């Protein structure tokens, strides 16, 4: 079949089906034909045939457009609903209707409505990785990093805190994921994680944008002081738990746990274990149950998955505490797909594990035993970027029942790309980041000191990318936690300090950004790959 015949062929197909990806050579000749018709450069992998039409993303200078073609032989709902500038174009002696559309929210909704692989899906127990993208440009690079590995990506993932810091909405996060997925023609499906939700209204806000995973963070209800409380204080806290919310009495809860055997050769549950676990996590369990029930009401028949995360608390989660939390959630009818304990050692942002990896291994093995006994569910590793020492341990001991969450590392890769694309801009950003760091570090778990980061003016262009090497902890952390200030600070005249130049540099040389993402995130995925 010749490329121009494809259009006629597509129009006569039964409505309701999206054609599989075009094979490579044929796709290339289609790309040539389409570039003549729309006078823009189509992204070859984006060519997709929703019912009755063909669509693709194309590059027009540094802007991107959604192009939709229809032979007009049959009405295509997709063509009708796409909002854009309509015209006609000739190919192979026939005339076709063409719509050139902006990448708006309305067009993202139309794409998701008609093309299933552009809608997020639940991942269940598939091994998976969260790939937060604070800029909305990273999905094609993320797709390349996971392609063919058997690891399910979460292209749409952002916490409420990050959305506030970057002035983004859940719709924007979702739309960027869909457009990026189309551009790269990634058809294996992706997940979407509304991360670190603390209040029921956070579920409403993100469910409305189509998110399918809710990560409940009951950290505000965790009592980390319980770790060092004496017996009397623990007893008092235990008696004072919200027992009606927990739907059990203090006495019955004691009967349920004290003396209960533990999996993995771990000593049985003692009274002290229960008092400490309940005092520390009892209110967090009650809050998680409330959030889960709210999610069920909001989602009704729509499939969703829930993660419970306590990774951002002050002290590590012991294996008894993990057991208590999981057993209580089960007793209260919560269905969850993953659980993120706070592990031993330090999980600082953007750098490798800090601590004794053998001790981590011993503790992780116990957590994995509890997970297998009370689940299975996935063990979720938050602040998961750049934890290269941890991945092989997690993959082995949890039998790949793992979800790894990354976000800031993709922002760091954007800066790495900018250090190569536009060294003067990068120097300005680094100098600003050093200045902002003392204030911006406050809500993050980091140990870098700005004074230990070199003055950018002392570095040659060729040395700038070296600041991103894994052992440059100070430079990495200083740049990591200042993303909000870098992306949202304005000049006295109201213009952006960096945002527009930052995005223009990446858009101008997007292959550079995709290349560093593929390489860096690829290293994260490799230990879990098929």
**b/e per residue, 23-48, with b = 16+ CB within 10 A?**
eeeebeebbebbbebbebebbbbbbb
Residue 151 sits at φ, ψ, to 5 deg, of -95, 125
Q: Which is nearer to Zn ion, 57 or 163 (CB)?
A: 163
Provide the 10 A C-beta neighbour count for residue 333. Answer: 11
Q: How far is the CB of 159 from Zn ion (least distance, A)?
A: 7
Q: Which is nearer to Zn ion, 91 or 197 (CB)?
A: 197
Q: Which is nearer to Zn ion, 195 or 422 (CB)?
A: 195
Q: How far is the CB of 171 from Zn ion (least distance, A)?
A: 22
Distance CA 475, CA 516 (A): 18
Provide the 10 A C-beta neighbour count for residue 436. Answer: 18
One symbol per residue from 268 to 297: x for binding Zn ion (CB under 5 A), - otherwise; what is it? ------------------------------
Torsion sign, CA atoms 228, 231, 233, 235: positive
349 is a site residue for Zn ion (CB under 5 A): no
Q: How far is the CB of 383 from Zn ion (least distance, A)?
A: 6
Q: Which is nearer to Zn ion, 26 or 444 (CB)?
A: 444
Cβ contact 455:333 at 8 Å: no
One symbol per residue from 43 to 62: x for binding Zn ion (CB under 5 A), - otherwise; what is it? --------------------
Classify the phi-psi angles of 523: left when phi > 0, otherwise alpha if psi is within -120 to 50, otherwise beta.
Answer: alpha
Q: Which is nearer to Zn ion, 46 or 157 (CB)?
A: 157
Q: Which of 4, 175, 184, 195 is catalytic?
A: 195
Q: Which of residues 85-104 bind Zn ion (CB under 5 A)?
A: none
The interface region with Zn ion, picked from 166-174, 304-312, 330-338, 371-379 by CB under 5 A, is 304-312
Q: Which residues contact 359 (CB under 8 A, 6 or more apart)?
A: 344, 345
Distance CA 381, CA 137 (A): 24
Closest-approach residue to Zn ion (CB): 382
DSSP string, 355-384: S-HHHHHHHHHHHHHHHHHH---EEEESS-
Look at the chain and count its residues: 530
Q: Which of 307, 363, 510, 518 is catalytic?
A: 307
Closest Cα to residue 279, out of 241, 317, 310? 241
The interface region with Zn ion, picked from 51-59, 202-210, 303-311, 323-331 by CB under 5 A, is 303-311
Q: Which is nearer to Zn ion, 100 or 306 (CB)?
A: 306
Q: How far is the CB of 329 from Zn ion (least distance, A)?
A: 18
Q: How far is the CB of 169 from Zn ion (least distance, A)?
A: 20
- Long-range contacts, stretch 33-39, CB < 8 angstroms, 24+ apart: 33/3, 33/4, 33/91, 34/58, 34/67, 34/69, 36/91, 37/69, 37/89, 37/90, 37/91, 37/96, 37/98, 38/65, 38/67, 38/89, 38/98, 38/100
342 is a site residue for Zn ion (CB under 5 A): no
Q: How far is the CB of 382 from Zn ion (least distance, A)?
A: 3
The interface region with Zn ion, picked from 85-93, 266-274, 374-382, 486-494 by CB under 5 A, is 374-382
Distance CA 52, CA 73 (A): 9
The interface region with Zn ion, picked from 200-208, 328-336, 381-389, 466-474 by CB under 5 A, is 381-389
Distances (CA, A) of 29 to 20, 184, 323, 453: 17, 17, 58, 50
Alpha helices, DSSP H, located in 167-311: 170-184, 200-207, 231-239, 243-246, 250-257, 271-299
Q: How far is the CB of 349 from Zn ion (least distance, A)?
A: 10
Q: How far is the CB of 316 from Zn ion (least distance, A)?
A: 14
Distance CA 338, CA 436 (A): 35
E strands of 387-461, at which residues? 402-406
Q: Which of residues 222-261 bind Zn ion (CB under 5 A)?
A: none
Number of residues that bind Zn ion (CB under 5 A): 2
The interface region with Zn ion, picked from 105-113, 198-206, 380-388, 448-456 by CB under 5 A, is 380-388
CA 119 to chain centre: 15
307 is catalytic: yes
The interface region with Zn ion, picked from 134-142, 169-177, 378-386, 455-463 by CB under 5 A, is 378-386
382 is a site residue for Zn ion (CB under 5 A): yes
Residue whose pair of structure tokens reads 């390349």 in the numeric block: 144
Q: Which residues contact 273 (CB under 8 A, 6 or more apart)?
A: 257, 318, 320, 324
Q: Which is nearer to Zn ion, 342 or 436 (CB)?
A: 342
On the CB side of 72, how many CA atoms lie within 13 Å of its CA? 11
Q: How far is the CB of 361 from Zn ion (least distance, A)?
A: 21
Q: Which residues contact 459 (CB under 8 A, 6 or more apart)?
A: 427, 467
Q: Which is nearer to Zn ion, 160 or 398 (CB)?
A: 160
Q: How far is the CB of 229 from Zn ion (least distance, A)?
A: 26
Q: Which of residues 307-326 bind Zn ion (CB under 5 A)?
A: 311
Q: Which is nearer to Zn ion, 382 or 524 (CB)?
A: 382
Q: Which residues contact 525 (CB under 8 A, 6 or more apart)?
A: 129, 145, 146, 149, 151
Q: Which is nearer to Zn ion, 184 or 311 (CB)?
A: 311
| Positions marked active-site | 195, 307
Chain contacts with Zn ion (rule: CB under 5 A): 311, 382
């Amino acid at each position: 079949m010749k490329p121009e015949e494809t259009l006629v062929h597509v129009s006569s197909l039964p409505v309701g089906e999206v054609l599989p990806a075009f094979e490579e050579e044929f796709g290339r000749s289609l790309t040539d034909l389409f570039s003549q018709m729309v006078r823009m450069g189509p992204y070859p992998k984006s060519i997709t045939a929703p019912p009755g039409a063909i669509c693709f993303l194309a590059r027009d200078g540094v802007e991107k457009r959604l192009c939709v073609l229809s032979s007009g032989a049959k009405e295509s709902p997709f063509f009708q609903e796409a909002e854009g500038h309509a015209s006609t174009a000739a190919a192979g002696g026939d005339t076709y209707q063409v719509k050139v559309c902006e990448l708006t929210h309305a067009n993202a909704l139309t794409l998701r409505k008609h093309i299933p692989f552009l809608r997020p899906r639940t991942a269940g127990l598939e091994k998976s990785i969260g790939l937060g993208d604070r800029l909305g440009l990273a999905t094609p690079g993320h797709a390349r990093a996971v392609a063919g590995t058997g690891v399910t990506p979460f292209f749409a993932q952002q916490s409420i805190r990050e959305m506030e810091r970057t002035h983004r909405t859940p719709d924007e996060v979702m739309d960027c994921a869909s457009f990026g997925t189309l551009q790269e023609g990634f058809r294996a499906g992706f997940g979407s994680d509304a991360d670190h939700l603390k209040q029921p209204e956070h579920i409403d806000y993100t469910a409305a944008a189509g998110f399918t995973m809710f990560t409940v963070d009951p950290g505000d209800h965790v009592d980390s002081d319980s770790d060092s409380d004496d017996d009397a204080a623990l007893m008092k806290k235990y008696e004072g738990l919200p027992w009606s919310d927990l739907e059990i009495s203090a006495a019955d809860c004691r009967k349920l746990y004290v003396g209960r055997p533990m999996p993995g050769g771990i000593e049985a549950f003692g009274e002290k274990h229960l008092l400490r676990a309940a005092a520390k996590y009892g209110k967090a369990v009650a809050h998680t149950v409330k959030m889960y029930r709210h999610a069920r009401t909001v989602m009704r028949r729509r499939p969703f998955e829930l993660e419970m995360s306590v990774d951002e608390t002050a002290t590590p989660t012991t294996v008894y505490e993990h057991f208590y939390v999981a057993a209580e959630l089960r007793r209260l009818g919560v269905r969850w797909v993953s659980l993120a304990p706070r592990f031993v050692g330090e999980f600082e942002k953007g750098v490798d594990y800090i601590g004794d990896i053998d001790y981590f291994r011993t503790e992780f093995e116990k957590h994995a035993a509890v997970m297998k006994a009370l689940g299975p569910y996935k063990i979720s590793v938050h602040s998961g970027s750049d934890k290269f020492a941890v991945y092989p341990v997690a993959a082995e001991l949890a039998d790949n029942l793992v979800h790894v969450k990354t976000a800031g590392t993709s922002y760091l890769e954007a800066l790495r790309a900018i250090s190569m694309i536009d060294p003067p801009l990068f120097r300005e950003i680094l100098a600003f980041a050093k200045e902002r760091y003392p204030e911006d570090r406050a809500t993050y778990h980091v140990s870098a000191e700005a004074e230990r980061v070199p003055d950018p003016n002392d570095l040659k262009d060729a040395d700038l990318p070296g600041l991103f090497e894994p052992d440059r902890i100070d430079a990495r952390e200083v740049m990591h936690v200042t993303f909000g200030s870098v992306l949202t600070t304005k000049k006295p005249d109201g213009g952006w300090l960096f945002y527009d130049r930052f995005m223009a540099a990446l858009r101008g040389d997007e292959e550079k950004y995709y290349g560093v993402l593929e390489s860096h995130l690829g290293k994260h995925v490799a230990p879990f790959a098929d």
